[in-house]
């Protein structure tokens, strides 16, 4: 009769995953890239907005959304934070450490749950920090150009900025699921690029009966949360973001199922 496998406390598993996560150089390089690229895009995109506003029509000025303009860094930031989510899993497959992790934590669902928890915590903090910093810098640049700007106390602004951070966190969790299913950084990243960029770009070629699907697609309906003006195409942006999160949850469920059935 074999001795029972000792149960590792979940808190210890989470702590071990956090140590592995912060010990990787790629983690800090990716987080640094998220900040530098995200804020760099904000500065570049907002520096010449004053001239655009001065030459806009009355209708375009009525649709002026300074909050949304300052959050456009999410377009590239979602790819960088997606890389971070992928590396949470695939870095261990690349180095062969996954076998060691499974030996230390035989209950696979606990191991993956710990990775998801660490990735969620980091993605929420990084996403919110980037969105609030982008908003602050963007509005300061607008004010310096004597262009209408926004404040966090304005209607819908705080929800849009915080929603942007939640959107980026959801993208990171989607990346964790893809990394678990595909076990390769390149394959997971290519799939993420297809989901986030390629499919929405080709949405016009899909049949009309599929149009409703794109209301909940990451860069379509989900990203509508970062606007403060009513959009007839997405009248309920939080509902769109919730639909996107349900899709991410489905990918994570599939990742858990696949992870439990594999040899490694």
Mean pLDDT of the 17-24 span: 91
Gyration radius (Cα) of the chain, Å: 21
Q: What is the pLDDT of residue 50?
A: 79
Residue 111: CA count within 13 A, CB half-sphere: 22
Place of tokens 């890389």: 83
Q: Is the pLDDT of residue 35 over 70?
A: yes
Q: Is the pLDDT of residue 1 over 50?
A: no
Mean pLDDT of the 28-34 span: 94
Weakest-pLDDT range from 15-24, 100-109, 126-135, 206-215 = 206-215
Q: Is the pLDDT of residue 104 over 70?
A: yes
Asked, for residue 140, whether it belongs to a domain, the answer is: yes
Q: Is the pLDDT of residue 56 over 50?
A: yes
Closest C-alpha to 69, from 170, 145, 120, 126? 145
Asked, for residue 77, whether it belongs to a domain, the answer is: yes
Asked, for residue 3, whether it belongs to a domain, the answer is: no
Q: What is the pLDDT of residue 157?
A: 95
Q: How far is Cα 204 from Cα 20, in angstroms, rounded to an integer?
A: 43
Q: What global pTM score does this model have?
A: 0.91
Mean pLDDT of the 208-234 span: 78
Asked, for residue 4, whether it belongs to a domain, the answer is: no
Contact 147, 49 (CB under 8 A): yes
| Number of domains the chain is built from | 1
Our CA angle for 251, 227, 59, nearest 5°, is: 140
Asked, for residue 233, whether it belongs to a domain, the answer is: yes
Asked, for residue 2, whether it belongs to a domain, the answer is: no
Higher local confidence (pLDDT), 203 or 255: 255
Asked, for residue 5, whether it belongs to a domain, the answer is: no
Contact 228, 65 (CB under 8 A): yes
Contact 121, 17 (CB under 8 A): no
pLDDT, one tens digit per residue, over 142-159 is 988 888 889 999 999 999
pLDDT, one tens digit per residue, over 160-194 is 999 999 999 999 999 999 999 999 999 999 999 99
Asked, for residue 132, whether it belongs to a domain, the answer is: yes
Q: How far is Cα 15 from Cα 58, in angstroms, rounded to an integer?
A: 56
What are 155's two structure tokens? Answer: 């209607």
Q: How far is Cα 18 from Cα 3, in angstroms, rounded to an integer?
A: 29
Q: Domain span at residue 70?
A: 10-261
Q: Is the pLDDT of residue 117 over 90?
A: yes
Residue 79 pLDDT class (50, 70, 90 cuts): very high
Q: Is the dihedral of CA 193, 194, 196, 201 positive or negative?
A: positive
Residue 79: CA count within 13 A, CB half-sphere: 17
Q: What is the pLDDT of residue 4?
A: 52
Higher local confidence (pLDDT), 76 or 53: 76
Q: Is the pLDDT of residue 10 over 60?
A: yes
Q: How far is Cα 90 from Cα 26, in angstroms, rounded to an integer?
A: 12
Q: How far is Cα 122 from Cα 128, in angstroms, rounded to an integer?
A: 10
Mean pLDDT of the 234-254 span: 90
Q: Is the pLDDT of residue 22 over 70?
A: yes
Q: How far is Cα 31 from Cα 44, in angstroms, rounded to an integer?
A: 20
Our CA angle for 35, 239, 174, nearest 5°, is: 45
Q: Is the pLDDT of residue 17 over 80?
A: yes
Q: What DSSP assignment string belongs to 134-170?
A: HHHHHHHHHHHTT-----TTSTTHHHHHHHHHHHHHH
Higher local confidence (pLDDT), 64 or 209: 64
Q: Is the pLDDT of residue 258 over 80?
A: yes
Residue 173, exposed/middle/buried by CB under 10 A (0-12, 13-18, 19+)? Answer: buried
């Amino acid at each position: 009769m074999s001795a029972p496998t000792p149960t590792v406390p979940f808190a210890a598993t989470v702590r071990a995953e956090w140590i592995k996560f912060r010990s990787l150089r790629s983690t800090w390089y990716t987080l640094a890239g998220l900040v530098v690229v995200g804020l760099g895009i904000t500065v570049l995109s907002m520096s010449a907005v004053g001239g655009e506003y001065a030459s806009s029509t009355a209708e375009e000025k009525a649709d002026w959304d300074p909050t949304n303009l300052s959050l456009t860094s999410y377009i590239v930031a979602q790819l960088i934070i997606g890389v971070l989510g992928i590396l949470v899993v695939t870095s261990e497959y690349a180095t062969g450490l996954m076998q060691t992790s499974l030996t230390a934590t035989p209950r696979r669902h606990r191991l993956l749950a710990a990775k998801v928890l660490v990735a969620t915590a980091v993605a929420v903090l990084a996403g919110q920090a980037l969105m609030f910093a982008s908003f602050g810098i963007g509005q300061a640049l607008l004010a310096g150009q004597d262009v209408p700007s926004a404040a966090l106390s304005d209607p819908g602004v705080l929800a849009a900025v915080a929603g942007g951070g939640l959107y980026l966190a959801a993208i990171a969790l989607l990346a964790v699921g893809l990394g678990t299913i595909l076990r390769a950084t390149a394959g997971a990243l290519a799939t993420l690029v297809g989901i986030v960029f390629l499919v929405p770009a080709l949405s016009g070629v899909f049949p009309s009966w599929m149009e409703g699907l794109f209301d909940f697609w990451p860069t379509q309906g989900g990203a509508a949360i970062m606007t403060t003006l009513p959009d007839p195409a997405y009248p309920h942006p939080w509902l769109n973001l919730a639909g996107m999160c349900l899709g991410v949850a489905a990918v994570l469920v599939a990742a858990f199922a696949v992870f439990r059935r594999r040899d490694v």
